Structure 1
Amino acid sequence: MSDAEATSAADASSLDDPLLAVRNLDAGYGDLQILTDVDLDVGDGEYVTIVGPNGAGKSTVMKSVFGLTRVFDGTITFDGTDITDEAPESMVHHGLGYVPQNENVFAGLSVRENLEMGAYIRAEFPDEALAAVYDRFPILEEREDQRAGTLSGGQQQMLAMGRALMLDPDLLLLDEPSAGLAPDLVDDLFDRIDAINEGGTAILMVEQNAKEALRRCDRGYVLVQGENRFVDDGDALLADESVRQQFLGG
């Protein structure tokens, strides 16, 4: 057993004052339990990645944080508030933004209309937030009148992230952001995610490109069959022989 695996999830991940704290989480869909006793922390401004094999429950963790699953046991707290049983529509009020893997733009609406939808809870439209999104993703300003469904895959991913950023969230949840993108677009996307994090937004990301995700993050979690298997900083997980052989292709 490796050092990373020998370290309990609670010991390895527990922060003194986490922004997001998932404790002993059992969750799933209907009567089907996917996650068992999952622990996870994200600190203020931290960049955390969840990796693991297909079917490990990675996306279920993200959906649980955003109120989209059934929680059988355990707690989820955000900025000191218990959000375990709250509805998804309340999460943006707490400061969470969520970009799902699939169907993450309104295909029939324009780019600008999609971004406006991201600010729907504001009494007044946040022009400064729109300007910040356009500054971060200039192609969106160039295409603001174009229907979102006609954008390229990479542009749609930028739009989905931009919409989530319209409310300036404290934590951005990204579910498989590089899925379906051409290899030459993946590095650019990761660079943009890095920049979002460097601007002060905490990131919790599920990612299929495990090596690149771990190389860039502060800490990583390896999930296997719905349970924490390894928890450590990204570089340590990349260097761990067991992690490399089992999950990173050697």
Structure 2
Amino acid sequence: MSQRATRAEDATLPETTESLLSVRDLDAGYGDLQVLEGVDMDVGDGEYVVVVGPNGAGKSTVMKSVFGLTTHMGGEILFDGTDISARRPDQIIHEGIGYVPQTDNVFASLSVRENLEMGAYILDEVPEDRIRAVYDRFPILGERSTQKAGTLSGGQRQMLAMGRALMLDPDLLLLDEPSAGLAPDLVAEMFDRIDGINDDGTAILMVEQNAKEALRRCDRGYVLVQGQNRYQDAGETLLADQQVRREFLGG
């Protein structure tokens, strides 16, 4: 018998997990267009959480809402106990949240190093130790530090975007479709990189089109449908649930 995933209305954060990000009854969208309705979501300290669901479900809108890029219509977003619901992205980044959008996530005309320096723009000086840490994590970026970002491959640009977001050593990293557009043989490598970031203590909240692989690797997952929570559970439990697989994971 397959495991049965927990429906959203019955879900709670595991008692052993201290919540870093808490989204409660969130209504949000763009201008007058409401996309999210009553969304609840948690990311524990150091946890790896994935949001999946059909196209148009509002997955990316959740990420953008946490980072202050949507119209907040109701509910609250708490980060480490602080209400950030009405804050701008330039304020939220100071709280310890990094964000990597799906597209337009590097400065194409700047070099690799200059992109990384832009990731630390709020600091008085560029922390060389953080640049070295990024190069250690993504050696290809160190090899191509003077190369224009626009000439990098898709996978290398994605590494650079993540590296730039890590320049401030965030407590939570938001990743929007990090495997989008990558060649199939590069997808597993990208997931391995993300696993490594999480293993080093950074909490991850990720939207991902490759739902099965993402759920295999994460601690917990949410299934979002038409801007509302449908299921929440451990990634492996969602994968094992026949109804979730049939309706949202392609069987």
1:170 is aligned to 171
When normalised by structure 1's length, the TM-score is 0.97
Asked if 1 retains the 8 angstrom alpha-carbon contact of 2:170 and 2:202, the reply is yes
Asked if 1 retains the 8 angstrom alpha-carbon contact of 2:107 and 2:149, the reply is yes
In structure 2, the gaps of 5 or more residues are: none
Q: Distance in 2 between matches of 1:29 and 1:246?
A: 27
Asked if 2 retains the 8 angstrom alpha-carbon contact of 1:14 and 1:41, the reply is no
1:240 is aligned to 241
Give 1:130 shift.
0.5
2:20 is aligned to 19
Give per-residue Cα distances to partners, 1:182-229, cap 9 Å, x unaligned. Answer: 000000000000000000000000000000000000000000000000
2:74 is aligned to 73
2:64 is aligned to 63
1:85 is aligned to 86
**TM alignment of 1:143-182, pairs within 5 A:** 143-182=144-183
Q: 1:87 to 1:7 in 2, by over 3 A?
A: closer
TM-align CA RMSD: 1.3
**TM alignment of 1:111-130, pairs within 5 A:** 111-130=112-131
2:100 is aligned to 99
Give per-residue Cα distances to partners, 1:104-146, cap 9 Å, x unaligned. Answer: 0000000000000001111122111000000000000110100
Give per-residue Cα distances to partners, 1:62-117, cap 9 Å, x unaligned. Answer: 00000000111100000110000000111110000000001000000000000000
1:40 is aligned to 41
Aligned AA for 1:177?
P
Q: Distance in 2 between matches of 1:13 and 1:113?
A: 40
Asked if 2 retains the 8 angstrom alpha-carbon contact of 1:29 and 1:69, the reply is yes
State the 4+ residue runs in structure 1 displaced beyond 2 angstroms.
2-7, 11-17
Give 1:39 shift.
0.2
Q: Distance in 1 between matches of 2:222 and 2:12?
A: 10
Give the secondary structure class of the aligned counterpart of 1:28.
strand
1:227 aligns with 2:228: yes
1:28 is aligned to 29
Asked if 1 retains the 8 angstrom alpha-carbon contact of 2:119 and 2:168, the reply is yes
